[in-house]
Chains A and B, each alone.
Chain A
Amino acid sequence: MNVFREERNPMVNDTINILVAGLGGQGIIRASDIIADAAFRTGYDVKKSEIHGMSQRGGSVSSDVRFGSKVLSPMIPRGEAHFLVLCDLSQREVFWEYLRPEGKIISIENLGDAKLPHPKTLNTALLGFLSKFLQIPTEKWREAIEHAFPVKLVEINLAAFDIGAKQ
């Protein structure tokens, strides 16, 4: 028989799971795009998944990003997220069940008294803080941010990222 047979993969256990959550209009999808792109540029296998459609109408929005040597399902199983990036604290109750017991919540509370260049850059500032825990080089983050925004918004977002990374 001609059927293609895949090699048996080694057990997959190095996948990092990041759930980004908030409300429509807070840049959730953009933030998850940047994480996925930075991981992709670093050379990881990456999957990212979310539900579109209602995202601009103020409802809860979340996006799953997974990266590692080999990612299988695009969706993070309940209780397996290493990081929950919250752009809106109101969503903590909605999504905390996805976090591992030892998982970390990343929110505005991690930014202390830091002053953001613009309230809308909260998402990139949180990515800056997140970046401290991930094996992704800074230049890959910068490339992903440069790629994600129109030219006039790149500087302000790089600045927000740096503020987050310095906390």
Chain B
Amino acid sequence: MSTVSKFLLFGNEAIAHAARNAGVALGTGYPGTPSTEILECFADLGGHAQWAPNEKVALEVALGASFCGARTLVTMKHVGLNVAADPFFTAAYTGVDGGMVVVSADDPGMASSQNEQDNRHYAVAAGIPMLEPSDSQDAYDFTAAAIELSEKWYIPVLLRVTTRICHSKTIVRPRWLFPPVDAPRFRRDIKGRVMIPAYARPAHRKLRAKLSEIAEWSETSSLNRIHEGSRNLGIITSGVTYYHVREAAPEARVLKLGITHPLPIKLIRDFAESVDRCIVIEEGDPYLATHIRAAGLAVESKPEIFRFGELNVDRVRRILAMDTSPEPQPPPGKLPELCKGCPYRPVYDVLHKLDCIVSGDIGCYTLGVLPPYEAMDTCVCMGASIPVGLGMRHVLPPDQRKRVVSVIGDSTFIHTGIPGIVEMVYNPPPDGHVVIVLDNGTTAMTGQQEHPGTGRTLDHTPTKRVSIEEVARAIGVTQVHVVDPTRDAAGFEQLVDKCLNSRELCLIVARHYCILAAPSIKEFEKRTQQQFDYECVPGGTESHGE
């Protein structure tokens, strides 16, 4: 056995290990592929990890902790940062005391997402420093570096990873030793933390001054590296693309940028001038190329077709050859589908049969869009099902608007569905509306995570349960029904039909455990002898109309 310990880790695991070793006091986030395993691993390693109802809440909880000097880790997928954008931008002004690392896991190629937005733009827009690892070792080292950077300049740091960093295993040698952090304590700093305009104006100037200092520091930071090679070809790159580049062009001189905001422009200029041909190769938007060109450097960038999808060795070879001929299509493969025995199947049977116009949402149940059901007409983002359905109801002619149904999952309802219910009660459409909450007792799509509606925390410990039906009633929904469509499909169909014709505001909780999660849920319940006052225990068919 070697005396130097090394591990084969996913990028997500490497981030968790580094956070744990760095004494991160609190990890918080919302599940989202490809980021989900970070907090699960952090909890497995003994860290204090929590699922928040959504990413905005997660970032704010972490911000409060970091105001008090605690080190924090916030995790989310790329679209989660849209939800958390509000606190993210102003946290750049307030700064932090304890190191705060915000992980954005982007999904170029959309393996499991509704868009392929490139969150590097967020770092620039918010004025937050950004690090981009290229493998699991980097993910480990850069998490540690992000904490150092955050504490040196009292500013949150964005750790921007992608699917191939999160879900690739590579070798990691843990090699950072952190001094212990001081115990959290409250330190009053009203002008620094209360962002009224009078205090925010100087805070903005202070932020820009910090970014200038960080830019200067990044010029000589070891987080940026040069792989020596021929002076005929120079490639500027970041993230996993670095390794595609090294394989596709082993002879090239390569500048691997670990800090991608603020950019080390002098380093980049020196590099560009050192080679005959200088090309920027990056996944997603031409982010680096745009900013490097804006600094007055004449570098080549990839052709537009390589903005779409992931890069790989083959595509990097094409970029180097400026080959824009049609690419071989990736194998289509077999599409996923709702599992055999999925409790959502009978729901989509009914929606299909009643020819409903279905405003859908994000989760496994989005698979209801595929044949044989094809029972989903819109799907935009987390929580959009209810407001989009309401918008349709407001403008469609009566014969069409009466068929509009909003369909949302249990975790999604908690995440951002509740404001849609408030909107429905506040601005009711002329013929009412019907919302179906598909409650399978877990966040199924991302791998069965707990959420406030399950009554268990991230590590499956019992906690108080948020009741979807009670929330709906409290907000003022006229009819709230709780049913199990798997047990009584005919009764479910009658209920939906009745609600559609009632011209009232109706919410139906269709409750039955996820077929994949049911064994573990039952185990958790048995282990803790947890008993909830469910209106419809899984398998029951009780219905409560008002």
Interface residues of A (CB under 8 A from B): 1-9, 11-12, 23-24, 33, 36-37, 40, 45-54, 56-60, 71-75, 77-78, 90-91, 93-95, 97
Contacts and interface: CB of A to CB of B under 8 A. Distances in A.
Contact of A72 (B247, B270, B328): B247
Contacts of B260: none
A22 to B, nearest CB: 10
B333 interface: yes
Q: What secondary structure prevails in chain B residues at the interface with A?
A: loop
Nearest to A40: B8
B337 to A, nearest CB: 5
Given A3-B226, A78-B328, A46 B8 contact: yes
A5 B240 CA distance: 18
Contacts of B328: 78, 97
B244 A4 contact: no
Contacts, number: 137
Contacts of B164: 49, 74-75
Contacts of B228: 5-8
B125 interface: no
Contacts of A78: 314, 328
A71 B33 CA distance: 25
11 contacts: A3-B226, A37-B8, A46-B8, A49-B168, A52-B167, A53-B446, A57-B337, A59-B337, A72-B243, A73-B247, A75-B312
Given A24-B336, A95-B331, A97-B331, A53 B111 contact: yes
A74 B226 contact: no
B181 interface: no
B171 interface: yes
A77 B313 contact: yes
Contacts of B335: 59
A90 B334 contact: yes
Given A40-B8, A49-B164, A72-B243, A1 B270 contact: yes
Given A3-B220, A47-B169, A78-B328, A53 B364 contact: no
B339 interface: yes
Contacts of B337: 57-59
A126 B338 CA distance: 28
A12 B336 CA distance: 37
Interface in B339-387: 339, 364, 367
B516 interface: yes
Interface string B206-240: 00000000000000111011111100000000001
Nearest to A54: B336
A8 B366 CA distance: 48
A130 to B, nearest CB: 18
Interface in B39-89: none
Given A1-B220, A51-B112, A6 B226 contact: yes
A57 B365 CA distance: 11
B298 interface: no
B332 A94 contact: yes
- Chain B, interface size category, equals 35 or more
A3 B222 contact: yes
A24 B246 CA distance: 32
B333 A4 contact: no
A36 B168 CA distance: 11
Contacts of B247: 12, 72-73, 77
B167 A2 contact: no
B27 interface: no
A7 to B, nearest CB: 7
Residue in A6, A12, A91 with the greatest tally of chain B CB atoms within 10 Å: A6
B227 A57 contact: no
A60 B34 contact: no
Contacts of B112: 51-54
B250 interface: yes
B479 interface: no
Contacts of A94: 331-334
Nearest to B6: A40
B267 interface: yes
B439 interface: no
A45 B328 CA distance: 30
Contact of B243 (A8, A51, A74, A97): A74
Residue in A2, A60, A72 with the greatest tally of chain B CB atoms within 10 Å: A72
A128 B516 CA distance: 29
Given A3-B224, A49-B164, A77 B169 contact: no
Given A56-B516, A73-B243, A12 B34 contact: no
Contacts of A9: 246, 250
A86 B336 CA distance: 18
Interface in B138-183: 163-164, 167-171
Given A37-B8, A59-B337, 4 more contacts: A52-B112, A56-B339, A72-B243, A97-B328
B364 A91 contact: no
A24 to B, nearest CB: 7
Contacts of A57: 336-339, 364, 367
Contacts of A75: 164, 244, 312-313
B445 interface: yes
Contacts of A73: 240, 243-244, 246-247, 312-313
A74 B335 CA distance: 24
B13 interface: no
A12 B313 CA distance: 14
Given A4-B222, A36-B8, A73-B243, A51 B167 contact: yes
Given A2-B222, A56-B339, A77-B312, A11 B244 contact: no
Residue in B227, B247, B270 with the greatest tally of chain A CB atoms within 10 Å: B247
Contacts of B267: 1, 3
A6 B163 contact: no
